[in-house]
Amino acid sequence: MLLRLNKGVSFLADEAGAGDQDYTLEQLADEYCKKYGRVDWLYRPRQLNQLEKILLYAARFRSADNNFLIFTVINQALEQGIGVVLGKLTPEAAQLYSRARQVWAEIHRVKGFIRFHPAKNRTKTLVGRAEFRHRIEDILLQHFRRRYPKETVVIIRGSEAYILLNNQVRVYPYSQLGLEFDEHEFDSFWDVYYDSQTVEGRLNKKLARKHVPKKLWSWVPEGNKLK
């Protein structure tokens, strides 16, 4: 995540030079304070962990100005104190919080609605299809690896397939993997289930739509029932 801090400037790993060294958050704090003086909140685990959690999600927000926003907020924390950021006292800090919440919400939705199907031509392989905007594939794959520790989990997003290999996310063109699975077979089971729970006189699509956001309808089985 964060690689190095200079006076008033911060760099993310994907923007640093190839020869730069990776730092843990604790090492990064030590380096900064040795060069520019002690910043007390860098040694307060509770506050540091709060900021780290916000950055964990906000850094995955897909936007051209996201790195600049993160740099700005970190600079505000260093120059004005971390309370300014954690209290959302600047427009930039409030925006960073908002982006972190949006990413967290998307992770929560995908975890709850994705459906996995066993691959017919690969043993111990589960395949699921989802659509998401932000860079959350690593969090999703780690989550489902813990849930299905004996299976290889593949998440398909559009024309891409994401797989966790040796704790690293690998991206492949889905068409090149040659995976065979019948997602429609399982979708029909969901259709039967939802139909069995429906009482015609009490059908309330408006209420049901509150529990399944419209942006998910294109890839969740129950989406067709809510259109």
Do the Cβ atoms of 76 and 49 come closer than 8 Å? Answer: no
pLDDT on residue 203? 59
Whether 150 and 217 map to the same domain: the answer is no
CA distance 77 to 73: 6
Does one domain contain both 42 and 102? yes
- If asked whether residues 44 and 87 sit together in one domain, one would say yes
pLDDT tens-digit profile of 105-163? 999 989 988 888 888 888 889 998 888 999 999 999 999 999 999 999 999 998 899 99
Q: Are residues 139 and 214 in the same domain?
A: no
Residues 193 and 162 in one domain: no
Triad 65, 69, 74: Cα angle to 5°: 155
112 by DSSP, 3-state: which? helix
Q: Do 137 and 42 share a structural domain?
A: no
Among 107, 125, 149, identify where a domain stops. Answer: 107
Q: What is d(CA 94, CA 86) in angstroms, rounded to the nearest whole number?
A: 9
**Which residue range forms the structural domain that includes residue 209?**
183-226
pLDDT at 205: 60
pTM attached to this predicted model: 0.72
- Taking the alpha carbons of 199, 210, 104, 220 in that order, is the dihedral positive or negative? positive
Per-residue pLDDT tens digits for 98-113? 999 999 999 998 998 8
**CB neighbours of 185 closer than 8 A, spacing ≥ 6?**
117
As for how many domains the chain has, the answer is: 3
Q: Which of 107, 136, 151 is the last residue of a domain?
A: 107
| Domain termination site, one of 55, 88, 107 | 107
